[in-house]
Amino acid sequence: MSAFESELQVVADRVVAQAQPGEEVEAFVTRGGDTDVRIYQGAVEHFVSAQSEGVGIRVISGGRTGFAYAGTLDESAIAEVLAEARDNVQFGEPDEYAALAEPDGVAITEQSLWNDELADYPTDDKIDLAKQLEKLASGRDPRVRVDDSNYADAHGESAVASTTGIRMSGRENGCYVSVSTLADDGEGDDAETQTGFGFSVGRSPHEFDLDKAAREASERATRLLGATKPASKRTTVVLDPMVTAQFLGVISSTLNGEAVVKGRSLFAERLGDEVAAPFVTFIDDPTNPKAYSATDVDGEGLAARRNVLIQDGVLKQFVHNSYSARRAGTVSTGNATRGGFAGTPGVGCLAMSLVPGTRSQAELISDVDDGLLVQSVQGLHSGVNPISGDFSTGAAGLLIANGEVGAPVREFTIASTLQRMLLDIVEIGGDLDWLPMRSSGMSLVIRDITLSGT
């Protein structure tokens, strides 16, 4: 964001200039929009192009915090928001840790987060991309039909200013396409349907790989045809990149400094412990421009940075915003999150990844004599307890026998604990995949998982 100063910065600066003695004041101002296109059988089934703008203001006085917001940048409305935030201070509970972020001297990592090509991309061409993807996916296999084909993009600019010296503004945009497929086989009582998906992300539509998205959507659906319920056993699993990304999202929640200080993480009081296999390194790196969620500043206006959370299996640190850091007696890691102008900063990983290995998924599978390729999971977050670490989720995939993928299976659960799974990681794939989420994906081999089927 630092390479571009938004005109919104003037609005934020004007709010902060009205601070009264004894007050800390922060203004967070945003403007943005998104486009969503859904195609079904060659026609536009759904189209939304939405715009929004607004301001959120925090006032802290005497350890109490007041917050208010408005979905407009009208000058009179902003004045009312500031007055309301001041009024709301009296309703806040005194908190010794309540304070705004302060500049910490960490330099901004310059990134190209705004693409003019995307900003100027015609709406008709966006629709055509979704139609092309649908055509490609439906033409790969006669058993495959497309449930829907989608194009989505988002853009935004924001500015933040505070009485503690924070002043930052900028803009970013990004886009992706996705397709959901259905594969049909059999007739009458023997008929079955399996689902698949594919996607491609980019800063510009010209970065999309439509062929890859269509191929993966078709293959994911067709290779599950004929799936049966497997026998129960303890086995080695190979997680598909999308499943690994979801798994990393769960791990991210346990490394959240806010959860840790509240005693809601299985890693509380475990800094310095060996918590994963010795070759495993978890990094949260929003300064990597390849990450879909890359950014150069966090939700409080501090520089985003590369944080090594688990290094060579050892827990090194948690992610923090300025508030959770004060409670933990440490400093912010630049991980304040913000859903928009209507909320105050939270904490979270911004772009989580494992340091990848070097081998492909096929090469990883070749070393597994008896195992399971997990292609999809259901109810992952409801089946995981981030405090106890208990892990149990429904899944579908393909059995592995003698180093080769075999029969498809479904309607079973895989279970372990997060603690054991991290220690039982056998190998990390080199097939790094950037997804439209805050975690990247790659194949991941984990031993000694309980498979509950028949």
- Say yes or no: 150 and 212 in one domain: yes
Report yes or no on 3 lying in a domain: no
Report yes or no on 1 lying in a domain: no
- Say yes or no: 162 and 237 in one domain: no
**Domain residues for 336?**
233-452
Structure tokens at 291: 């990450």
For the entire predicted model, the pTM comes to 0.93
- Say yes or no: 13 and 56 in one domain: yes
Report yes or no on 227 lying in a domain: no
449: CB partners within 8 A, 6+ apart: 234, 235, 236, 237, 372, 414, 415, 416, 421, 424
- Say yes or no: 189 and 252 in one domain: no
- Say yes or no: 207 and 274 in one domain: no
Q: Of 198, 222, 246, which one is at a domain's C-terminal end?
A: 222
- Say yes or no: 206 and 270 in one domain: no
- Say yes or no: 183 and 250 in one domain: no
- Residues facing 371 on adjacent strands: 236, 400
- Residue 28 sits in a domain of what CATH number? 3.30.2290.10
- Say yes or no: 274 and 255 in one domain: yes
Q: How do the pLDDT tens digits run along the chain, 454 residues long? A: 445 678 999 999 999 999 999 999 999 999 999 999 999 999 999 999 999 999 999 999 999 999 999 999 999 999 999 999 999 999 999 999 999 999 999 999 999 999 999 999 999 999 999 999 999 999 999 999 999 999 999 999 999 999 999 999 989 999 999 999 999 998 888 899 999 999 999 999 999 999 999 999 999 999 999 999 999 999 999 999 999 999 999 999 999 999 999 999 999 999 999 999 999 999 999 999 889 999 999 999 999 999 999 999 999 999 999 999 999 999 999 999 998 999 999 999 999 999 999 999 999 999 999 999 999 999 887 889 999 999 999 999 999 999 999 999 999 999 999 999 999 999 999 999 988 899 999 999 999 999 999 9
Q: How many domains does the chain have?
A: 2
Q: Which strand (E) or helix (H) includes residue 210?
A: helix 210-222
Q: Name the phi and psi angles at 251, rounded to 5.
A: -60, -40
Report yes or no on 186 lying in a domain: yes
- Say yes or no: 212 and 240 in one domain: no
Alpha helices in 372-432 (DSSP H): 418-423
- Say yes or no: 47 and 191 in one domain: yes
Structure tokens at 412: 């079973």
Q: Say which DSSP state 358 is in.
A: S
Report yes or no on 206 lying in a domain: yes
Report yes or no on 2 lying in a domain: no
Q: Say which DSSP state 54 is in.
A: E
Report yes or no on 164 lying in a domain: yes
**Among candidate residues 130, 126, 124, the one with its CA nearest the CA of residue 41:** 130
Q: Name the phi and psi angles at 313, rounded to 5.
A: 90, -10
Q: Say which DSSP state 205 is in.
A: G
Q: Of 222, 249, 282, which one is at a domain's C-terminal end?
A: 222
- Say yes or no: 199 and 282 in one domain: no
- Say yes or no: 267 and 376 in one domain: yes
Report yes or no on 288 lying in a domain: yes
